[in-house]
Amino acid sequence: MDIEEISKHFIHVYNRNIVFTKGEDVYLYDSQGSKYLDMGAGIAVCALGYSNEEYKQALKEQINKIIHTSNLYFNEPAIKAAGYITEATGLDRVFFTNSGTEAIEGAIKLARKYAYLKNKDSQGGIIAMEHSFHGRSMGALSVTGTKHYREPFEPLIGGVSFAEYNNLESVKALINSGTCALIMETLQGEGGIYPATEEFITGIRKLCDENGILLILDEIQCGMGRTGKMFTYQHYGVKPDILTTAKALGCGVPVGAFAASSEVADAMCPGDHGTTYGGNPLATAAVCKVFEIFKEKGILQHVNETAPYLREKLEALKNKHNKIIKDIRGMGLMLGMELAVPASHIVTEALKNKLILISAGSTIIRFVPPLVIEKEHIDTMYNILDGIFNKAYDVYKKLNN
Ligand SMILES: *Cc1c(COP(=O)(O)O)cnc(C)c1O
């Protein structure tokens, strides 16, 4: 296929040059039939890989019953899926969306409505984090901590200020009587794989409680088992007031959700929010099956067995190529490798070697494989990367001359 010709028909916001046609296990196949090992999982989406027959069967069955009705009525898969989410999160009520970004929009609206009911003159101030990523819509972009994503699209929504992640004092300094919510990823993804320290996250929970601020945790990327618990905040013994989830929630079918405690959720009343597609039977049938497979197949346990091995292998690469690899960090199967060379160079080389990697920022490679990955796949990845880093040293030398 002629990539230049294909590209003409798309608004150019991605640089891409492969057409994938098929997935199997933890591999993708391109239009030429080449097989790639996938360490990106469709950006942390395809947690079950590409060959889960039970998942595919559940979708086919749902298609035969009904794909869509609208939110003017209940549907059976959504009822069940809401139950799974409340059970897994310890939160009370759920709203289904079509994407992560929309879950963020809903979470922001809910926090603002809650503050408004308490005080009609509420200023709706929101504290967000530097290096955060919450999505591309005007609201989600407003709380995204990367200036060059925001700037061309200003004016965005007002009342947002940015604190430094893992710096409690910088958060304290921004709190005032107009602050209604604090939004953060429990483990920063897009911004470069930065986990929260225990001190930071428990301190944030305390600050929010003391000041009547709602804590919104964005687990769109780090949730759904990625770090070895269903949600990453469960490692820290804290609970958000509002949680956002998406990506692996449907394992490929576009679906997201935000969930909240009843006290907060009940600030919304009919007419306040809505969506045509959100939570439709097809999407929520996927959600149900994902939760069921996680339980049956012991996905969390598998993550907890496999993740230390991935980390060990990445650490081994770092020790061997310590001029190029500066840091390995993250949790579970969400790991980052910080480089002294541009990440894009390594990503491109990896693709040539039929290994799919994704970056997070200009010098960080992000490892977010399907959660069903096995040690043998990690060994394959190790060998490919080892070869690439052997050669990348020349690039490093050039950059430093
Ligand atoms: C991907 C992502 C989003 C946006 O989700 P979309 O489904 O792309 O709209 C928001 N927050 C985080 C942490 C993400 O990783």
Nearest CA to ligand 1 atom 5: 100
- CA 108–ligand 1 middle distance (angstroms): 14
- CA 336–ligand 1 middle distance (angstroms): 17
In testing the pocket of ligand 1, which one of 45, 131, 220 has its CB within 8 Å of the most ligand atoms? Answer: 220
- CA 323–ligand 1 middle distance (angstroms): 32
pLDDT of residue 398: 76
Ranges of residues in the chain with a pLDDT under 50 are none
pLDDT of residue 400: 73
| Ligand 1 atom at minimum distance from 135 CA | 4
pLDDT of residue 369: 98
Reported pTM: 0.97
pLDDT of residue 393: 77
- CA 68–ligand 1 middle distance (angstroms): 24
| Ligand 1 atom at minimum distance from 104 CA | 10
| Ligand 1 atom at minimum distance from 246 CA | 7
Q: What does each C-alpha distance from 51 to 54, 80, 166, 283, 356 come to in angstroms?
A: 9, 24, 39, 18, 18
Nearest CA to ligand 1 atom 6: 100
pLDDT of residue 378: 98
Instruction: Of 314, 281, 329, 252, give the one whose Cα is nearest residue 47.
Output: 252
330: which strand partners? 335
| Ligand 1 atom at minimum distance from 218 CA | 13
Whether the bond between 240 and the residue before it is cis, its omega within 30 degrees of 0, is: no
Q: Which residues line ligand 1 (CB under 6 A)?
A: 99-101, 104, 133-135, 185, 189-190, 218, 220-221, 246-247, 256
- CA 253–ligand 1 middle distance (angstroms): 14
- CA 243–ligand 1 middle distance (angstroms): 13
- Angle ∠(209,100,172) on CA atoms, nearest 5: 25
Over residues 268-323, the pLDDT tens digits come to 999 999 999 999 999 999 999 999 999 999 999 999 999 999 999 999 999 999 99
In testing the pocket of ligand 1, which one of 98, 245, 247, 368 has its CB within 8 Å of the most ligand atoms? Answer: 247
| Ligand 1 atom at minimum distance from 137 CA | 9
| Ligand 1 atom at minimum distance from 221 CA | 15
- CA 94–ligand 1 middle distance (angstroms): 18
- CA 115–ligand 1 middle distance (angstroms): 25
Structure tokens at 195: 């986990």
Q: Please provide residue 158's backbone torsions phi and psi, each rounded to the nearest 5 degrees.
A: -85, 170
Nearest CA to ligand 1 atom 15: 221
In testing the pocket of ligand 1, which one of 96, 221, 275, 331 has its CB within 8 Å of the most ligand atoms? Answer: 221
- CA 25–ligand 1 middle distance (angstroms): 24
- CA 121–ligand 1 middle distance (angstroms): 31
Over residues 349-388, the pLDDT tens digits come to 999 999 999 999 999 999 999 999 999 999 999 999 999 9
Distance CA(95)–CA(273), nearest Å, equals 9
| Ligand 1 atom at minimum distance from 102 CA | 9
| Ligand 1 atom at minimum distance from 219 CA | 13
Instruction: Of 90, 158, 163, give the one whose Cα is nearest residue 125.
Output: 158
